[in-house]
Chains A and B, each alone.
Chain A
Amino acid sequence: MVHALEEIRRLVKADGCLIDIHPIPNAALFKIHRGSELLLAEPDPGYDTDESIPRAEEALAEAVQRGLFLIERKDEFELVTYASTLAELRDYWAAYGAYDDTPKDEAVTAQEDAVYAKADEIMQNAPGAEITYHERARITRMEPVGEE
């Protein structure tokens, strides 16, 4: 990851900038609503052990420590994905390659399956319900340091 940041530093002009956007650990939340009624709210178990997210934070910190970039500003926002069925949401993630396909820990997979089974059951019994998937993300503006 830091090697990628070194390469980005090379490709960006000395007076340019880097914007990094990445999800915040343990923050994704899966919800089912029908109108204003909240039928389900569960953390996404997949994020609990997604090692790539803390690694992103570490890589940015290391890039600063190595003198590649300075952090100018940071902010956070919520990205919400809406779907009418669970299958639609999962098809979307699969089709767009939204997630790392490296095998997950067995316990995480079991926990994920339990959340999705619960969601499926609720959706079958609640016509008109809508699924929302909430991801918190951090956005950081970084300024290159030194010569190109």
Chain B
Amino acid sequence: MTIRVDPENNEPRALFSLADFNGQRVLEIGCGDGRLTWRYADKARHVTAIDAFEGSIARAMDNTPDDLKSRVEFRHTGFEDFAATNRAGTFDLAILSWSL
């Protein structure tokens, strides 16, 4: 058996009840291995997903489905460094994913 996280889809259900991802430019902070990212990325215009934990980002990159590669960008970086190099008003939607 492998680890299964949220097979009931409770997290994406809650997320979709609060946000519409269609055509949005999304920033996900603390994306980990992309577990949540995969659930909404197909709807977004573009996703930038960051995490300070290198192992998680490496897994997220390795496991990116082919059909999402053009719209999801994973970055190994802390939020402060990321914010310092990005302009105001870049994103439609930001997600703090278990990371505040």
Which residues of A does B touch, CB under 8 Å?
Answer: 1, 4-5, 7-8, 10-23, 56, 59-60, 73, 75-84, 88-89, 92, 95-98, 130, 137, 139, 141, 148
A96 neighbours in B (Cβ, 8 Å):
32-33, 53, 55-56, 59
* B side interface size, CB within 8 A: 41
A4-B15 contact in complex given A17-B93, A81-B3, A82-B3, C-beta closer than 8 Å: no
B14 neighbours in A (Cβ, 8 Å):
75-77, 137, 139
In the complex, the answer to whether B18 meets A73 with C-beta atoms within 8 Å is yes
> Within the assembled complex, what's the spacing in Å between the Cα atoms of A7 and B89?
11
A77-B11 contact in complex given A13-B91, A22-B100, A82-B4, C-beta closer than 8 Å: yes
Interface contact tally, CB-CB below 8 A? 134
In the complex, the answer to whether A19 meets B18 with C-beta atoms within 8 Å is yes
A selection of 19 A-B contacts at a CB cut-off of 8 Å is: A7-B79, A8-B96, A10-B83, A10-B88, A11-B89, A11-B94, A13-B91, A22-B99, A75-B14, A75-B18, A80-B8, A80-B10, A81-B6, A96-B56, A97-B56, A130-B1, A139-B14, A141-B19, A148-B89
In the complex, the answer to whether B6 meets A8 with C-beta atoms within 8 Å is no
Ranked nearest first, the 3 interchain pairs of A and B with the lowest CB-CB distance are A97-B53, A84-B1, A7-B83
Give the one of A7, A11, A78 with max B CB within 10 A. Answer: A11
